[in-house]
Amino acid sequence: MRLSLVLPVALIVLLSVVQFPTVHSQSPQLIPQQGFGLNRSASLTVKIVFLGITPDELNSTYLKRNVTVPPLKYQTILAGPLNTGVIFSFNYQLVFADNSTVSSFARYLSSIQREENTFSGPLTPSGLVNPYFTNSSTLSMAQNYFYDADKVESWLGSNMTLFGGNPVSGYTLFVADLHSYKIPSFNYTEYQNYVTPCRPCTPQAVQAHYYNRTVTDPDLGLVMYRHFMTGWGGSSRFYYMDLSAGPSYWTNELPVQVASQLRGISTSNYYGKLWMSKFVGSYVYGAVNNLFAPDQLYPVNYSQNYNLQLFVLDNRTAAEMSQGPQLTATINETMIQQNLASLVPFAGVTVHIKFANVTDYPGLAAIMANATTSLRDLISGRPIVDGDLVYNWFTTSGLGHITNFINVTRTTSTIDVPAFLFAFKGNYTFGVPVKEDIGSPNIYGTFGGEALGDMVLIGLSQQADFTIGNNSTYGQGGKGAGFTHDAIHELGHMMGLNHPFIYDLTEDFTNTVMGYYAYSLNFSQFDRDSILRGVNDELLSFALQALSTTQNTLFNAGDISMANQNIAKAENLYNTMDYAGAVQYSLAAAEDASAAQQLANSAISPALVFSLIGVAIGTAIGILLGYLLFRRSRPAGVQYNRCPTCQQPLRWDPAQMRWYCDRCQKPV
């Protein structure tokens, strides 16, 4: 019962190729950085603003301890080298909003409150159900109270001064408990009534509150309701979570007032305060690891241009093609360009979309026919197109037919990102073989899209996506969902972003296209910070490593000095979170350091030069001459690293943490 209610949402979420289970465990203690070759550290303040939680309900010292919240985190890369060499250290600041501030916030919530009762099943086929409360033997009615998530976020954003503003370098986390502020909340008695099995029972009513939003697919107009959130944020550098909200079926986390009574906790005694600190800390842990210092999925790579090459390939039946929608209506080039450009403001972002029929490519048509199986996914009941077979046909580590479509370059001047987007017939979906019990349902058996590192694959279908509004659970005839949302999501992975719910599910309620639940089209401020930090980290790490292995000579002293000045400028901006402004200095530092390294390795040694110009001329003139002879001329525009042997633009190789020449097949 519950599963089928989850499905309308589950069907349109995406699975990344790298699928990590949700981890609730605490981070292990980190080993001090010596010996790991780390060369940069950055400090981030995490300002926790409590709304409705008072200092005497918890133990602030215990909350800030390393056993409760993470003290440090490497900038991890999940698919690639382990980390970037950057380590973040977190300073926790606790602020307790006064009673009148919390009261005025609660009054604001009441003023935008919407109420809707739900029952164990929908009253109409497309009627609302709270998927957490579907047990007809114990539930008479769920009284749901909804607050518009965007309005709540903008109230907090415009009242930041009440809480002392955002840290100069860091993020604000609002942690609310509003159950004693006249916000209708799920309580322990209702919980007991609902979960206690009894026969016969008198079904009882429950109350709960949530944050909600309504979104519309930009291509085909399907309206989607996202009712059951317990947190929200991402438009700027703060996140809001309400521990008294819920329970939400999406996270399965109990509100604090229920969880504490379930454990028999009283915050008036010593242990109760420790328990409360740990409870809050486990949410802080999620926000820090998912949002404030998230993992990178792939290494973030600097380039002057990001060139997104999308091939939208129609594999529908002739009847479906004439039924519509037309392929060109299923994707929005402008929206993809604008959102990806928001991640890399220092670079050019171009999007090229080519529309074609699969039959235009006979080889592709043949492999698609092979991959289109009669196997069915056991959860959704949908037939499977074998994604691995299709990927193998394209990838250069397989049959390599991607070269029929695009010659991919990855250099500091251009990074090409190829994507193949399929329109399947019927309700086909991409699927992959799984080693688990193939007779039992497995949520990892199918995917809407995947970011594979060298390309994106997306598969949507006529029935389950483009015309899904015709389905009675939607009741929106003629409406559907197109490629744009999924394309931005997968391209976000290719840029390096991960999902925001790896460490805790609450942060899936974030205003970002990288989540599953919210169906946002835009990236969050956390995403933008993560990418721009990553770009600076890459360039600065290179500069620092190059300088540390370069001998200071007569000829490169100028470059070394320039590199150090640019590093200092970049770090200053980085430390005030002007990550976008820092990029030009990080880039200049990398170029200067690279030049210094090349000069130090030059075949003409200082000794030889000295003998040529004669010792009598003296050191001062020698330095000047050396500088004039060997100083690079610096053009007015931005210069990019080129191979000293062949002058090809260099590619940053994150695995080796150095520049690599693809033509000469060697690192520089």
Q: Which residues bind Zn ion (CB under 5 A)?
A: 14, 16, 643, 645-646, 648, 661, 663-664
Cα–Cα dist 252/132, whole Å: 8
Q: Which is nearer to Zn ion, 179 or 651 (CB)?
A: 651
* Burial classification of residue 152, based on how many CB atoms lie within 10 Å of its CB (0-12 exposed, 13-18 middle, 19 or more buried): buried
| Residue 457 C-beta: closest distance to Zn ion, Å | 12
Who contacts 314 (Cβ-Cβ below 8 Å, separation ≥6)? 321, 327, 355, 356, 357, 358, 423
Q: Which is nearer to Zn ion, 14 or 577 (CB)?
A: 14
Contact yes or no for 247/254 (Cβ under 8 A): yes
Q: Which is nearer to Zn ion, 229 or 513 (CB)?
A: 513
Q: Are strands 204-216 and 139-148 parallel, antiparallel or unpaired?
A: parallel
| Residue 407 C-beta: closest distance to Zn ion, Å | 18
Give the three-class secondary structure for 314.
strand
Q: Which is nearer to Zn ion, 191 or 516 (CB)?
A: 516
Peptide bond before residue 125 is cis, with ω within 30 degrees of 0? no
Q: Which is nearer to Zn ion, 512 or 566 (CB)?
A: 512
| Residue 664 C-beta: closest distance to Zn ion, Å | 3
Q: Which is nearer to Zn ion, 246 or 492 (CB)?
A: 492
> Which residues on adjacent β-strands are paired with residue 170?
45
Q: Which two tokens stand for residue 661?
A: 């020449």
Phi and psi angles of residue 504, each rounded to the nearest 5 degrees, phi first: -160, 145
| Residue 523 C-beta: closest distance to Zn ion, Å | 13
What is the signed CA dihedral for 327, 332, 333, 338, rounded to 10 degrees? -170
Q: For residue 87, give the nearest of 35, 27, 34, 40 by alpha carbon.
A: 40
Which residue in this structure is represented by tokens 């790298």? 18
| Residue 176 C-beta: closest distance to Zn ion, Å | 29
C-alpha triplet 446, 452, 455: angle, nearest 5°: 115
| Residue 528 C-beta: closest distance to Zn ion, Å | 17
End-to-end CA distance of the chain: 60
| Residue 14 C-beta: closest distance to Zn ion, Å | 5
| Residue 557 C-beta: closest distance to Zn ion, Å | 26
Give the three-class secondary structure for 131.
coil
Q: Which two tokens stand for residue 111?
A: 């003023």
> Which residues on adjacent β-strands are paired with residue 307?
350, 416
Q: Which is nearer to Zn ion, 279 or 509 (CB)?
A: 509
Q: Which is nearer to Zn ion, 14 or 599 (CB)?
A: 14
Q: Which is nearer to Zn ion, 24 or 663 (CB)?
A: 663
Cα–Cα dist 503/124, whole Å: 36
| Residue 662 C-beta: closest distance to Zn ion, Å | 8
Beta strands in 97-180 (DSSP E): 114-118, 139-148, 170-176
Q: Which is nearer to Zn ion, 352 or 663 (CB)?
A: 663
| Residue 631 C-beta: closest distance to Zn ion, Å | 22
What is the signed CA dihedral for 200, 203, 208, 210, rounded to 10 degrees? 90
Q: Which is nearer to Zn ion, 114 or 663 (CB)?
A: 663
Q: Report the Cα 188 to chain-centroid distance in Å.
A: 35
Cα–Cα dist 526/6, whole Å: 28
| Residue 661 C-beta: closest distance to Zn ion, Å | 3
Contact yes or no for 402/410 (Cβ under 8 A): no
| Residue 622 C-beta: closest distance to Zn ion, Å | 31
Q: Which is nearer to Zn ion, 49 or 643 (CB)?
A: 643
What does each C-alpha distance from 307 to 160, 304, 349 come to in angstroms?
38, 10, 6
Q: Report the Cα 233 to chain-centroid distance in Å.
A: 13
| Residue 641 C-beta: closest distance to Zn ion, Å | 11
| Residue 388 C-beta: closest distance to Zn ion, Å | 17
Contact yes or no for 495/300 (Cβ under 8 A): yes
What does each C-alpha distance from 366 to 315, 343, 359, 392 come to in angstroms?
12, 38, 9, 13
Cα–Cα dist 662/433, whole Å: 35
Q: Are strands 383-386 and 372-376 parallel, antiparallel or unpaired?
A: antiparallel
Give the three-class secondary structure for 223.
strand
Q: For residue 14, give the nearest of 525, 487, 512 by alpha carbon.
A: 487
Question: 413: how many CB neighbours lie within 10 A of its CB?
Answer: 15
Q: Which is nearer to Zn ion, 12 or 259 (CB)?
A: 12
| Residue 663 C-beta: closest distance to Zn ion, Å | 5
Q: Which is nearer to Zn ion, 297 or 535 (CB)?
A: 297
Q: Which is nearer to Zn ion, 576 or 645 (CB)?
A: 645
DSSP per-residue string spanning 10-27: HTT----SS------SPP
